[in-house]
Amino acid sequence: MHEDVQMTKPGSCPKCGMELVETEVRKGTNHTRHAEYGMKPESTMSFWGKFKMSVTMTMGMEHTGLAGREMARLMELDIRNKFFFALLFSLPIVAYSPLGVEFLNLRLPEPIPTSWILLLLTTPVFFYSGWIFLYSTYIAIFKQKTLNMAVLIAVGITAAYVFSIALTLLGSRDSYYEAAALLITFVLFGHWMEMRSRRGTTDALQALFELVPPQARVERNGKEEIIPTAQVQLGDRVVLKPGDKIPVDGEIIEGETAIDESLITGESIPVAKTIGDKVIGGSINTTGSVKFKATKIGKDTALSQIVKLVEIAQSSKAPGQKIADRFAKYLVIVAVGGGVITFGVWFFILGQPLLSALTFAISTIVIACPDALGLATPTAVAVGTSLGAKHQILIKDAPTLEQVSKIQAIVLDKTGTMTEGKPTITDIIPARGFTKEGLVRLAAAAEAKSSHPLSRAILEEAESRKIKLSKEVKKFVNLAGHGVEAVVEEKRILIGTVRLMRDRNVDIAALQKDIDTLLRDGKTIMVLAVDGKVAGVIAAADPIKPTAKRAVERMQELGIEVALITGDNQKTAAVIGRQLGIERVFAEVLPEDKATYVKKLQNEGKFVAMVGDGVNDAPALAQADIGIAIGAGTDVAIETAKVVLMKSDPADVLRAIRLSKATVTKMKQNLFWASIYNLLAIPIAAGVLYPRYGIFLRPEISALLMSISSIIVATNAVLLNRAEKELITV
């Protein structure tokens, strides 16, 4: 089930022992190998194959991808089976043990000596249910050269089991069989509960994969045929009919439709699509029939990338967890050393009987198991990232999830981030000798090759006025951050910012009053010059997103400084800033200079986040301590950012911060509980309270307390879901 395991010959998986079977490589790919050996499906495994898988599983195996989640499911099932097996045998073991006889007053028939009955009942528990701890200890010590929780458990159960056998062979009625059996039972129960709690965090990922239809309708050799989605190749012409789920990512080449992308992007309204528009695998075609060219398949699709981001985040370790892991290794040494010292003190110094001294020693080793410490942050991270994914908030790794809570300043890109990014033309003011229609006709022709939102606004205005655009357009140049220039009908057209006009020595005095008025109203202006002379000014307004102002207010309430950055002129930027309640505004900033302003805030000693949605934001996203791509952004922005907000909603910035703070709180609570538990439990298990108060813990009770501690940590992490209501409220 480990998809990363690929062999050139048959054999067993080095991670879990499952049999490898030959798999064919799909035709049409550029793989150099024609066949390789991968994981054999569980449904086709023999009894001995399943048994081999069971005995080669280790605690703490990592599982990612679809195959990984299947392996995690199999492990959970195996742990559950081992637990019930141990529980079934533990009941009669307890009944025959001193615990059952002396405290429960049970009297069962004894066809053979009790100690031999206990040996026969405990042995299958030790070697079947307890094997996972023994094998994990072997892997940890001899393969990985490390110490972990399994080592402590193995030491505890082996000491209790072997010493009990020695007592049985010597004819003694005393034993620790029930301690070994119950220790195995309780620890398995704790791990089963932990795995169940963590499984829920991956269900959402499985649901995402299920969005992809099993079959696709493609056009090959002029005929439509239905094939498995896995067989769709790059460049295939895929046919969509109303109601169809989209199998892979692509670009529409024929027809028009509306596509429901809500399950991917969170946008509730179907998005109109026409030739040239992109479609996302997993979304639903609602109205028209279209054809699209497959541009991304398999692991390269947007859906697969989303899942990959979440999986990486869930499997990565937060800084706090790395410290806890190091501490846990030392705790193993302390536990074993503490057990030896405890035995020495009670047996050699205080003169207690061998059984009593051994009881204290084994209890000390068992209760010191750092299981809860190891679960403290991974469970919180798994729940936090899953909760974020549910609301289209993708956090790339655990350190980022933790660091988002530290944000002190946020730089927000204006266009497309805080505004709709779909400006509309509001004013057209021609200079003497020009008309509105003439101004729009020249401007639209010059802007036709630009993809800037303002360019699209001019083109839409020309379309609404039914103005036919000139095809005599030459020497088009996009002046990033300034505007465009081109030759239209043999006239040199320059359209862009006031700054551009000044740089090109264009006199705009005749329209200065109109420009000032438009700027005071918070509008974005584009000045048009023809052959070096001002021809007019076109103004556009980009409405602020409904949730933008509220989100800014809430971020400021958290003590976060909010800044606005834009390429717009100072006056327009200032108006937008006032409308949003943002005092610090960086205006007339060129794309390549955005990173400089982020660094300026960092130099003030602030932990800075940058929020943007375009290619020009990538350097600033990389410069920031936390880069946040909003509205899915561009491929470049997503690659650079550490947090991806699939919806174009600035409120999701606030939600990401709240999620991070809630997750970090759970991490701290879990780490505190796990640390306090060990600090208090170890001395009690060692018998510190026994001389004065007669309080001591038998190994099986220590195992129960250790398991309860792990369950508490896992349950506390799951309670993070209660933060969901706070997350969605702005």
Buried b (16+ CB within 10 A) or exposed e, 69-80: bbbbbbbbebbb
Identify the bridge partners of residue 219 per DSSP, sorted by sequence position: 224, 237
Helix, strand, coil share of the chain (percent; to 5): 55, 15, 30
Distance of alpha carbon 548 from alpha carbon 651, whole angstroms? 7
Which of 539, 549, 543 is closest to 569 using CA atoms? 539
Distance of alpha carbon 289 from alpha carbon 17, whole angstroms? 48
Q: Are 597 and 410 in contact (CB under 8 A)?
A: no
Buried b (16+ CB within 10 A) or exposed e, 442-475: bbbbbbbebebbbbbbbbebbeeeebebeeebee
For 319, residues 6+ apart whose C-beta sits below 8 A from its C-beta are 399, 402
> Which is catalytic among the residues 236, 244, 413, 613?
413
Which of 8, 17, 95, 91 is closest to 53 using CA atoms? 17
CB atoms within 10 A of CB 406: 14
593 is catalytic: no
Distance of alpha carbon 462 from alpha carbon 438, whole angstroms? 10
State how far the alpha carbon of 505 is from the alpha carbons of 502, 509, 531, in Å: 5, 12, 12
Distance of alpha carbon 190 from alpha carbon 185, whole angstroms? 9
Q: Alpha carbon 660 to chain centroid distance?
A: 12
Distance of alpha carbon 486 from alpha carbon 493, whole angstroms? 5
**Cα Rg of the chain, angstroms:** 34
Identify the bridge partners of residue 484 per DSSP, sorted by sequence position: 478, 495
Distance of alpha carbon 702 from alpha carbon 179, whole angstroms? 9
Identify the bridge partners of residue 563 per DSSP, sorted by sequence position: 411, 584
DSSP-derived letter for residue 392 is T
Query: DSSP 3-state assignment of 261?
Result: coil
Distance of alpha carbon 74 from alpha carbon 2, whole angstroms? 12
Active site residues: 413
